[in-house]
Amino acid sequence: MRFQILHRSPGRLRLHACVRKMTPDQADLLEAWLLAQPEVDRAAVQESICSVMVVYHGPLEPVAARLSAFSYKAAAAELPPLHHSSRAMNREYKEKLIGSVIAHFLKKWFLPTQLRIALCALQSAPRIFQAVKSLMGGKLTVDVLDGTAIGVSQLTGDFDTASSVQFLLRLGETLEEWTHKRSVDDLARSMALQVDAVWRLDEEGGKTLVPLNAVSPGDLVIVHTGHVLPLDGILESGDVMLNQASLTGESVPVAKRPGAAVYAGSVVEEGNCVVRVTGAAGENRYDRIVQMIEDSERLKSGVERQAANLADKLVPWCLGGSLLTWLLTRNVTRAVSVLMVDFSCALKLSMPLSVLSAMREAGNRKITVKGGKYLERISEADTVIFDKTGTLTKACPTVLTVVPFHGSDAAEMLRLAACLEEHFPHSVANAVVRAAKERGLEHEEMHSEVEYVVAHGIATRVDGKRTVIGSRHFIFEDEGVMIAPEDREAFDSLEQACSWLYLAVDGVLSAAIGILDPLRPEASEALVALHAAGIGKTVMLTGDNQNTAAAIAGLLGVDEYRAEVLPEDKARYIRDEQAAGRTVVMIGDGINDTPALSLADVGIAVGSGATIAREVADVVIAAEDLRELVCLKRLSDALMRRIRQNYHFVMGFNGALILLGALGVLPPTVSALLHNSSTLLLSMHSLTKLMDEEKTSELERTHTNGNRSIQ
């Protein structure tokens, strides 16, 4: 396929696809293919004008070579099936809007008067019926205002006004519906499940790692502890505890046994299972996310609910104002002008759209926010609590040294430790496995059933001997491991700057593995910026010993730290802070952080952490930079400012329209036009970016993680 370069700047291309036309499906395929290329950071395709925008890193030649070799057929075979594009929806609403405008003016210019009157009466019947229905139900809603205005206009013989009002209302409703659906669609796709591969069980009982799109209904897939269910299915074997918080909002895991239906997005907290797939990838998960966004109270912030309640309460005042205007002036036109204006549309539409826009803007920065109320709480937050390992430190700690005890061999102890740790998705476990691999130490399965004790360690049996690995508390207090007398001096002289992982065999300490977990280079800067953004207290909670924790806290500059804490200690600390009247944000990455993430006012998971942490958390930050927390805080503050500004504008502008209508300055059609126009303009403004461009650019320029920033 040929492309013509229309504009080129460093790291950015604007192209024209040399084809006669491009369908929405082809545009989706081209855009998905571009985003899958390793050199491409962002891509956007506009099918109506066959335009392609590409933001890339590195030299241009590889990108140009890939584009010149592009074909729809090859891309379709290379990529998984595409679902849930918004292009078809956008085209549908564009056609609906254009059709409405053309139909209205054709009727107005070419139809005879009597036929226009008949059509107006016919088209207004549903609105008048809805108004009567609301009144009979004892409800005074915006439908009553609209139906009354149209009905009164017709009764007084002003059919042109009635027709124009109906046209404006239809136009406004279509635009509002399109705007809302598009926002929900964008947000739902950003929250959709991201699983690339699964373990599939074959007929002979063997397991194979296959791409998710290669799984078909009827296949058996294996899901281990701490992992997410990638597809809907029936539990074939295994008793498990499932965390379904992302789907149902339940905070307590649910027991599932063979024969039970299980759904994509649930996380296996305990046990392993085999699931028989009943739905292809993406078929049901997306729809449930959309339903959750539209219906769940989790999405609605307190400010949104207050705006909706206020809008409903103002309807009777609008009706009363119209009646009072008629009683004082005996002028029906003035009374109808008052009815043309209500506060409900603008308040009920602009507030949720502002929230959806903020969530989408966060998604563009690789931050997934699972509900509007969490943005409100982040804006109110005054305390931020950090887990250390994998959060304030790099997600890739390294093994600094292995100290053998009790006559053991260091290499063999590292081999044994890697054999135990390879089953568990934690950064320290990954460090041990990686160190063994780098030293060429292959480790076959040599243990029996492995028991994982959250935030403590791992226990199993090797050659009939109980073998444990984990924290100091787990090894020496819970397991009662002894230190051989001849090893006491070496044990006491272990470097305090390291975090130590202890390995014991048959009740005797056999090795200590020194883990060096480098701090994230931006951690100190992020903490300073959080204070500048209004956070009054920063806290580090860690399972490390007191000396290690004190050293790291000093380097970071946190206000407070706690060492040697367990998951229940983190949860208890959060409860104490909340009892003191603080709004608490907790940031973590591991399975052991999930109780604290669930309990905090806002739980934030680091995207590189455990699956269950990402599912339980209210916010997930995929970007490997803690400064995105500062962006999230600023975004939340900007959202609250916009909501307040919208509220003041709606009350002031619509109040002025009501006054001018009552005084006879504005006729009903002009009042309706100004009211609907202001609502749409306010809605469009609510969808604009919240973050100040200058501040965003400044933050991006200061990033030191090697990512390129293209403006």
In a domain, 551, yes or no: yes
What's residue 581's pLDDT? 92
Torsion over CA: 548, 550, 555, 561 (sign): positive
Higher pLDDT, residue 113 or 496: 113
pLDDT above 90: residue 560: yes
For 459-468, the pLDDT digits (tens) are 888 888 899 9
Q: Does one domain contain both 101 and 240?
A: no
Higher pLDDT, residue 299 or 241: 241
| pLDDT-above-90 percentage for the chain | 16
Higher pLDDT, residue 543 or 660: 660
The three-state (H, E, C) secondary structure of 321-382, written as one string: HHHHHHHHHCCHHHHHHHHCCCCHHHHHHHHHHHHHHHHHHHHHCCEEECCHHHHHHHHHCC
Average pLDDT, the chain: 79
Q: Does one domain contain both 487 and 550?
A: no
Question: Per the structure block, which two tokens stand in for 619?
Answer: 């916010």
Q: Which domain holds residue 446?
A: 398-516
Q: Does one domain contain both 164 and 227?
A: no
Q: Does one domain contain both 252 and 305?
A: no
In a domain, 130, yes or no: yes
Q: Does one domain contain both 552 and 462?
A: no
Q: Does one domain contain both 170 and 305?
A: yes
Q: Does one domain contain both 45 and 175?
A: no
In a domain, 216, yes or no: yes
Any idea what the CATH number is for the domain that residue 508 is in?
3.40.1110.10
What's residue 528's pLDDT? 92
| pLDDT-above-70 percentage for the chain | 81
For 384-417, the pLDDT digits (tens) are 999 887 788 775 678 989 999 999 999 999 999 9
What's residue 311's pLDDT? 61
pLDDT above 90: residue 329: no
Any idea what the CATH number is for the domain that residue 593 is in?
3.40.50.1000
pLDDT above 60: residue 673: yes
User: Of 281, 316, 332, which one is at a domain's C-terminal end?
Assistant: 281
Distance of CA 461 to the CA centre of its chain: 41
- Which range has the worst mean pLDDT, 295-299, 320-324, 373-377, 427-431? 295-299
**In contact, 450 and 271? CB cutoff 8 Å:** no
Q: Does one domain contain both 179 and 313?
A: yes
Any idea what the CATH number is for the domain that residue 7 is in?
3.30.70.100
Q: Does one domain contain both 340 and 375?
A: no
Q: Does one domain contain both 205 and 276?
A: yes
In a domain, 236, yes or no: yes
What's residue 698's pLDDT? 47
**pLDDT confidence band for 297 (50 / 70 / 90):** very low
- Spell out the residues 6+ positions from residue 352 whose beta carbon is closer than 8 angstroms to its own: 180, 299, 300, 304, 372
What's residue 180's pLDDT? 63
In a domain, 705, yes or no: no
pLDDT above 90: residue 510: yes
Eight-class DSSP state of 157:
T
Q: How many domains does the chain have?
A: 5
Highest mean pLDDT among 138-147, 618-627, 668-677, 694-703: 618-627
Q: Does one domain contain both 385 and 413?
A: no
Any idea what the CATH number is for the domain that residue 231 is in?
2.70.150.10
**In contact, 213 and 117? CB cutoff 8 Å:** no
Q: Does one domain contain both 439 and 380?
A: no
pLDDT above 80: residue 224: yes
In a domain, 293, yes or no: no
In a domain, 703, yes or no: no
In a domain, 291, yes or no: no
Section 520-543 average pLDDT: 90
**pLDDT confidence band for 186 (50 / 70 / 90):** low
